[in-house]
Amino acid sequence: MKKEKKSALHISSGTDSPAVYNPELLQKFRRKKHSSEEFIEAIQKGDSVLLSQAITLVESNKESDQAEAEKIVAACLQHKNNSIRIGITGSPGVGKSTFIEFFGKMLIEKGLKVAVLAIDPSSQLSHGSILGDKTRMQELSTNPNAYVRPSAAGDSLGGVARKTRETIYLCEAAGFDVIIIETVGVGQSETAVHSMVDFFLLLLLPNAGDELQGIKRGVVEMADLIAVNKSDGAALAQAKLAKAQYQNALHMFPPKIGGWIPSAELCSGLSGTGIEAIWEKIEAYKKQMSENNYWQKHRAEQAKYWMHESILQHLKDMFYHHPKIKDLLPEIESELIAGKISSFKAARLLLEKFMD
Ligand code: GDP
């Protein structure tokens, strides 16, 4: 039998190639440019499409986008509401997204609007994600009274934290009553989250010591409430034991400013038990802190902290991007490594060059 000649590159003669896209449609879907006034007006009306676009501007590293974002954020600051900002942390698999899904839906049933923002430190280290690429909080993210935004990408935690803080203001101007900042409890991101929220909730597992869960003592100390999650089924007895142990551990820390005494509670994000009680604790916290004026004082302290953080970040960027420093740095580093100068002298030489 004669073998047929085959070619993958065969083109029918006499047929025109179809257009790969419809130029008119493309024009229609291409993002319309909005003025900052249009953004602000739409955000205040709760337009989630423009809210998302504004957050994208906040997250952008392009200078023109940043200037636009700055205007929008400044205007939103004038219109922010009386929200409560809650940080939620815990090791991967502790049940954060299951918890937030239940918690968020419960708050929406109470008539509140809920925004969930994430800080994922892993994306800077590994360019992967610990919080997961899987679709998280599926029901919440499609609810019209919720807004779920995955972690901002960035090359430093400081950068991601700034973007998240500005995103909080945008969400507050959009009328979200509860802003949840979620982070995975394995790095430094808890400290950043702690310094931008009113209330810090730590989720722990019933059946492992906190060291085993990768939770540092400092994080336990930051918690305003510890929730022993997955306290259901066969794990319940162990969870009760864990709750007593955490309760004891919390007693070892000095009382918090504002007089709040953190406690440990049992909950299950899966069945929903204990979640209402956690919300009641958060409301009690807000009441107590507002009555003794600590609520505003705490926020003012945080605003100052972020201003100083921002100054340090800018100075650092200016220093390391300065042409003179870029030129001199390798030379000074080799002198330092060769033991010719001390670290302090090296730093002084570079700083003198920078300020010259
Ligand atoms: P995250 O990585 O902290 O966001 O954890 P996930 O919410 O994705 O949950 C990790 C796993 O634990 C999933 O298989 C969940 O079904 C399960 N899980 C979450 N919450 C609970 C809970 O309250 N009880 C039990 N038994 N399992 C849970």
Q: What angle do CA 275, 281, 283 make, to 5 degrees?
A: 105
- 213 and 324 in one domain? no
Q: Whose CA is nearest to atom 19 of ligand 1?
A: 95
Asked if the structure places residue 299 within a domain, the reply is no
- 85 and 216 in one domain? yes
Ligand 1 geometric centre to CA of 268 (Å):
9
- 117 and 93 in one domain? yes
Ligand 1 geometric centre to CA of 115 (Å):
20
Instruction: Please state, in angstroms and rounded to a whole number, the distance separating the CA atoms of residues 89 and 86.
Output: 10
- 86 and 154 in one domain? yes
| Residue 8: predicted pLDDT | 61
Query: Ligand 1 within 6 A of 190 CB?
Result: no
Ligand 1 geometric centre to CA of 11 (Å):
53
Of the residues 292, 323, 339, which one is the last residue of a structural domain?
A: 292
Query: Ligand 1 within 6 A of 167 CB?
Result: no
- 233 and 351 in one domain? no
Ligand 1 geometric centre to CA of 20 (Å):
44
Ligand 1 geometric centre to CA of 93 (Å):
6
Q: Whose CA is nearest to atom 5 of ligand 1?
A: 95
Question: Three-class SS of residue 200?
Answer: strand
pTM, 2 dp: 0.84
Q: Whose CA is nearest to atom 7 of ligand 1?
A: 95
Query: Ligand 1 within 6 A of 232 CB?
Result: yes
Query: Ligand 1 within 6 A of 230 CB?
Result: yes
Instruction: Please state, in angstroms and rounded to a whole number, the distance separating the CA atoms of residues 104 and 100.
Output: 6
Q: Choose the residue to mutate in 98, 103, 180, 213 for probing ligand 1, maximizing ligand atoms within 8 Å of C-beta.
A: 98
* CATH number where 37 lies: 1.20.5
Q: Could you tell me which of 175, 256, 148, 247 has the C-alpha nearest to residue 204?
A: 247
Instruction: Please state, in angstroms and rounded to a whole number, the distance separating the CA atoms of residues 284 and 68.
Output: 39
| Residue 1: predicted pLDDT | 47
Say how far residue 339 (Cα) sits from the centre of its chain: 42
Output the tens digit of pLDDT for each of the chain's 356 residues. 444 555 566 555 565 655 666 666 655 555 567 888 899 999 999 999 999 999 999 988 888 898 899 999 998 888 877 899 999 999 888 999 999 999 999 999 999 999 999 887 655 545 455 555 456 788 898 999 999 998 766 667 777 888 899 999 999 999 999 999 998 766 678 888 899 999 999 999 997 665 556 667 788 889 999 999 999 999 999 999 999 988 888 888 888 888 999 999 999 999 999 999 999 999 999 999 999 999 999 999 999 998 998 899 889 989 999 999 999 999 999 999 999 999 999 999 999 999 98
Query: Ligand 1 within 6 A of 269 CB?
Result: yes
- 143 and 211 in one domain? yes
Asked if 89 and 120 touch (Cβ cutoff 8 Å), the reply is no
Task: Please tell me the total count of domains within the chain.
Answer: 3
- 337 and 275 in one domain? no
Question: 111: phi > 0 → left, psi -120 to 50 → alpha, else beta; which?
Answer: left
Of the residues 78, 108, 138, which one is the last residue of a structural domain?
A: 78
Atom of ligand 1 nearest to the CA of 267: 23
Instruction: Please state, in angstroms and rounded to a whole number, the distance separating the CA atoms of residues 112 and 105.
Output: 9
Structure tokens at 185: 């409890």
Query: Which are the contacts of 250, defined by CB distance < 8 A and separation ≥ 6?
Result: 220, 223, 226, 262, 263, 264
- 112 and 242 in one domain? yes
Give the C-alpha distances (Å, rounded to integers) separating 192 from 119, 130, 195, 242, 345.
9, 17, 5, 27, 32
Range of the domain at 59: 33-78
